[in-house]
Every structure is written in C-alpha cells, then in structure tokens.
Structure 1
C-alpha cells in the first residue's frame, strides 16, 4: 500500500484553499527516497513520529523567534549626512543552494549586488526604510558618537521589545502548536488518542497539520510563498500574545511599518521546517 501524505498548515479559517501552493514545500521536502519507499508496503511508527516532530518543530520555532530578536532588531539603519539614506535590505534565500549544514539558511542583511544577483529569482528582498538623521539624533539624546551609533538600530527602546520577543521564543509553541498527526484508511480517520495505543500502523493515508494554532490568513508571506509580503496590521503578532506596547513598536507609524516576526516565520515555514519534517517522515518509514 503506497503512502499518501496530506499536509495542512495553520488554522485555515478565512483562507479557503489559498495555502495549497505553499504546502508544496512540505511535499517536496519528503525527497526522492521517501517517494521510493512509498512504492512498497510499509509501516510508520506514528507515536514516535509525533514526538520527533514536536521536539524538532519546537526547537526550530524557538530559533526563528530568537533570530528575529537578536539579529533583525540589532540591524542598523543606513544614514546620510543629508536627506534619507538607502533602505536596509534583508535577503531571504529561497533556493536550494543554502548549504548542507544550514549555512546560508538565514536572511542576509544588506547583501552585495553580486550576492543578490547570485540568488536572483530564488531570493526575496525585504526593505526597511532608513531612519532619518533627525530621528537618530533625537533617539541618541546627545552628541556622543557611541550613542548615535546605537540610535541607528531600528525600533525605539529596543531593549524592552527585544526582551519580550526573546521571552516569546521560550513559549511560542503554546500559541502556535507544533503538529497533529492523523491516520486514515478508507473512510475511517483515527485520532491521535486512538493512535497512541498503536505502536505501528500500516500507512493508508497520513495527515499532518502543522502549527494548528496559527491563523494562517495573518501570515501572508507563507500563503504567497514570498516572506517579504506582510500585513501591516500586525494581526499575526497579536495572535502570539505580544503586549500592546510591543505591537505599537512593531507596527510603527503609518507608512513606516518594518515587519519583523512575520517574514521570519514565513521563511522558516517555507524552508527550514519542511526539511526537518521531510527527514523525520523518511526516517519513520519502515518497510515490511
């Protein structure tokens, strides 16, 4: 009996079938070896698969939030002596040449024209409009060069916002969930509770729903497969339980929204998480 794996991502209310294309990343991540195994009769240790995915997805989401807190919040605005400087560019590499050990797996800040050209159509560049010189001087509160250098960092009072987002990294899965694994054979769908009492099941149809707590309509970068496509209302950030003060800082004043968590989450869900899922499923398959 060949495998048939169905992937669903997030809470789908309000999106209909818009996320079908984005979910191809999960299918492709299964790889040729898994597809080869699908041609034979085999079994999957579903409880073990559930545990492995829980652990790996939790760790990966923590890395995503920590990356946003420690790297994207620390990036500095370009600055000119007169007028407004060029925007800060953040490159999301969507190609396959990210490196076997994960190098190149993270967004790149202010890539050189040569590097941007290498990624070409496989990369998306998010641009944050530069802070004005007047804003930097106001934030620094003095003529001290070191203070001005710190004031070039995006977001006002970065310390408190960074602290809140770093705390979010430790409990983000309480809001998003990790994965729910279901097994269906014919017209019967078995719930995780039933499956917990079955060490191994012969695969008819494996159904996996990732990040069930995420209102996927708020993560437009995932739906469009373009991490730079974001929602300025910060509805996604609200779903994570951030404070009103943090939401105000992330939203920014009108016309100056600098998306932080949304593009990182979308990028992780389109690249890193599918690969770890594909590996876990392949390892869980046991031919008879």
Structure 2
C-alpha cells in the first residue's frame, strides 16, 4: 500500500550482496488499511513504550516457534518402507501462507501430514516441505540392540526420524527460553528528517514521527542464513545449517538435525521463516496500530 512510511527489515544484511532484504510487504499488509493511512500522516508514537511491547511480544512468539518445533516436529515418525525396492511416502509439512486459517484455526501453524481436506484448502496458498521416509535398512539398523523409552519398543523408536529424540527435544526446548539472546527482538531506528538517508538508534527520543521509523527484527541473525525468508518460501532451506549453528546448538544436535548427506530434514529454519513471514507481522501490525491510536 503506497504511502506507508514506516519501513521494516529483518536480520542483518551482511553478505547478502546488493539485495535489499525488505520484509515491508508482509508487515504493511498486517497493519491494515486504516493504520497504514494514519502511519503515513504526521503522527508520532511513544517509542519506548512501543519498544517494550514489541520486545515482549516477539520474545514470546519466537519462544513459541522453537517450542512448536520441539513438540511437534521432533519425534515425528517416519512411514515404514516394507518393500526394499520402494521408499515409503515422505512426511509432509505444510506452511499456509494465505489469510484463510480455517474455522478452528487450522493452518495458523505449520501442519504435519495434513489431511486431504486441509491440503486441498491450504495447498494452493502455501508451501510444502517433505522429509524423505527412512529406509527399511535404516530402521532395522536403529532398532537392533537399541534402547526404547517406556511404553515403546526399540522397533517403534527406530521409526522416528531423529536419533535419541528425547535429548534433542530437551535441548531445543531449552533453546526456547533464551532464543532471543541469539536472535535479538527488534531495534527501532529513526531518520532525523524526511530526507535523511542515515538512520539513528532511538535513545533519549520519547516521541518520533511514525513516518520516520524503521523497525529491524531479529537484528543479530545473518539474514543470508534464513533462505526461506529471503525467498518467501519456508520450505527453502540452507543445508549448511548456518542458521542453526548461529543459535548455539550443540554439535550432537546439529548432527541429528542435519542427518547424512542428501537426507537433511530441516526443522528450525522453515519454522522461523514461517513465523517471520506470517505470525510476527500480525503481532507487530497490532502493536503499531495501538501505538498510533494512543497518541
């Protein structure tokens, strides 16, 4: 929507060459037409208050992203390949990018192996990530002499994608508590005048004209490592796992998430990309709308 002067950036852009990584379209759409009209007018906001609100909401939302990955993607079972000559169907993760989330909230989060009905509803406005099924040989190797958790057999445990699922889940859940220490939440910059090219960090400024604000989200993240965000397709990932490494995961966890060559099963990258393309813009739009109305 033309006329919106607030600008939005995600991550730091070192190493992205000349590409201007700008998430403005997602955020502008989330603000709504009336808020956009006000944002382009000569209206100021209480910046310290906006910073506090965004810090809290983004911290909570990114924690929810990590917890979703830990509780819903770690421990997912692979389809079992019974015929050694034919690999079973892959596990599917569907990312709904449309505005229609379903009557019961279906599609508001990534869907693991969605039903045919939900696939039909959301498939045309989303992206699908696929994890290749484990081979029969791999399952037999994992179950031979293995130890199972209470209530399961080694064979049942072996059909899960990740080795030692419990320890991996525990580490990722712990990451949810301090993930923003690695990513940052948001930095608010401002242009001193309407024509100023350089931006300044807001320090002692109490109220700033809305049209001169720039909000930069997850400022500590090298955006080149989050390819799903760059392409606006959460299913696009970086097999080098530079993003996961930047979050401080242990070598053991990285090995489990990366898998053997050619069989990577992306976990955190697609979830973070999805959050930054859909969920974070909605909560930011609400926060800015409230800040403008409370002038």
Q: Give the TM-score normalised by the residue count of structure 1.
A: 0.91
Give 1:287 deviation, angstroms. Answer: 7.3
Contact 2:143–2:154 (CA<8 Å) still a contact in 1? yes
Aligned match of 2:92: 89
Which deviates more from structure 2 when the two are superposed, residues 28-37 or residues 224-233? 28-37
Are the aligned partners of 2:96 and 2:127 in contact in 1 as well (CA < 8 Å)?
A: yes
Equivalent position SS for 2:11:
strand
Give the 3-state SS of the residue equivalent to 2:213 in structure 1: strand
Alignment of 1:160-171 (within 5 A): 160-171=167-178
Matched-pair contact (CA < 8 Å) for 2:139–2:158? yes
**Number of residue equivalences:** 284
Distance 2:276 2:136 in 1: 36
Q: Gapped runs of 5+ residues in structure 1?
A: none
Matches for 1:1-288 after TM superposition, within 5 Å? 4-18=5-19, 20=21, 22-38=23-39, 40-83=41-84, 84-99=87-102, 103-141=106-144, 146-186=153-193, 187=196, 189-195=199-205, 198=206, 200-286=207-293
Q: C-alpha offsets along residues 98-156 of structure 1, whole Å, 9 cap, x if unaligned?
A: 25885421111112333222223311110000011222222223699733222211111
Measure the CA separation in 1 of the matches of 2:103 and 2:116: 24
> Which stretch of the first structure deviates more once superposed, 185-194 or 59-68?
185-194
Conservation of the 8 A alpha-carbon contact between 1:40 and 1:287: no
Question: Could you tell which deviates more after superposition, 124-133 or 30-39?
Answer: 30-39
Asked if the contact 2:239/2:264 (under 8 Å) is kept, the reply is yes
Distance 1:24 1:40 in 2: 19
Confirm or deny: 8 A CA contact 1:73 1:155 kept in the other structure: yes
- Per the alignment, do residues 166 and 206 of structure 1 end up closer, same or farther by CA in structure 2, a change over 3 Å counting? same
In 1, the alpha carbon distance for the partners of 2:40 and 2:20 equals: 27
- For structure 2, list consecutive stretches of 5 or more residues without a partner in the other structure: none
Change (3 A) 1:115 1:18: farther
Answer yes or no: is the 8 Å Cα contact 2:243–2:269 preserved in 1. Answer: yes
Shift of residue 82, structure 1, vs aligned partner: 1.3
1:185 partner SS: coil
Instruction: State the shift of 1:42 in Å.
Output: 2.0
When the two chains are superposed, the root-mean-square deviation of aligned CA atoms in Å is: 2.2
Seen in structure 2, the aligned counterparts of structure 1 residues 161 and 39 have a Cα distance that, compared at 3 Å, is: closer
- Shift, 1:81, TM fit: 1.8
Q: 1:42 to 1:99 in 2, by over 3 A?
A: farther
Give, in whole Å, the separation in 2 of the partners of 1:125 and 1:37.
37
Superposed displacement of residue 21, structure 1? 5.8
Q: Distance in 1 between matches of 2:256 and 2:20?
A: 29
Secondary structure, aligned partner of 1:124: strand
After superposition, give the CA deviation of every residue in 1:136-194 in whole Å (9 maximum; x if it has no partner).
22222369973322221111111111111111110100000000012223137442222
Whole-angstrom CA distance in 1 between matches of 2:104 and 2:220:
30
